[in-house]
Amino acid sequence: MTAQEHTTLRAVFVQAQPADAGVAPDPAFRLLSDMGHKVASAESTDDAMAMLRSRGPTDLMVVDASGLPDATRLAAQLMDLPPGARPRQVAIFSDRADDALRALRRRASPPNVHVFLKPLHLHGLLGVLRNLEADAPMEATA
């Protein structure tokens, strides 16, 4: 009998509010961490871009556009990065329909930008994670 090992993904989570010691972490951040993924938290667009440039390949970038004034600028900057520095998938959470964010989804090449409306954003994130894990090479153990 063989079992597949869990794939650990490298993720960057961008949100306007830093996680304080007394405040529960964002549900999406907690979900990624609880699943065993390596998650780094960025508090600004500039912080996120610096992480992408310095940390090596990133599988997933999650952006909580609610309360992040420059979320559209961040997503546009991702398209300007060299292909090797871009995250494999980008999930953007929004609390309202935003034409600029939807336009980014159409501009992305390859099409790897997903925009999810809250409160159903976690369902969309799980779908992105399934696709990432299915695309990653899995090792079998005896």
Taking the domains of the chain in order of start, what are their residue ranges? 9-16+26-135
The pLDDT value recorded for residue 141 is: 35
pTM: 0.80
- Inter-helix orientation angle 45-54/71-80, to 10°: 30
State whether the Cα torsion 15-21-22-24 is positive or negative: positive
The pLDDT value recorded for residue 2 is: 42
Burial of 131 (0-12, 13-18, 19+ CB in 10 A): middle
CA 66 to chain centre: 14
CA distance 93 to 83: 23
| Cβ contact 46:69 at 8 Å | no
The pLDDT value recorded for residue 129 is: 92
CATH topology of domain 9-16+26-135: Rossmann fold (3.40.50)
Residues of the chain below pLDDT 70: 1-6, 17-24, 105-111, 136-142
**Which residues lie below 8 Å from residue 1, measured CB to CB, with a gap of 6+?**
none
CA distance 129 to 34: 13
The pLDDT value recorded for residue 108 is: 62
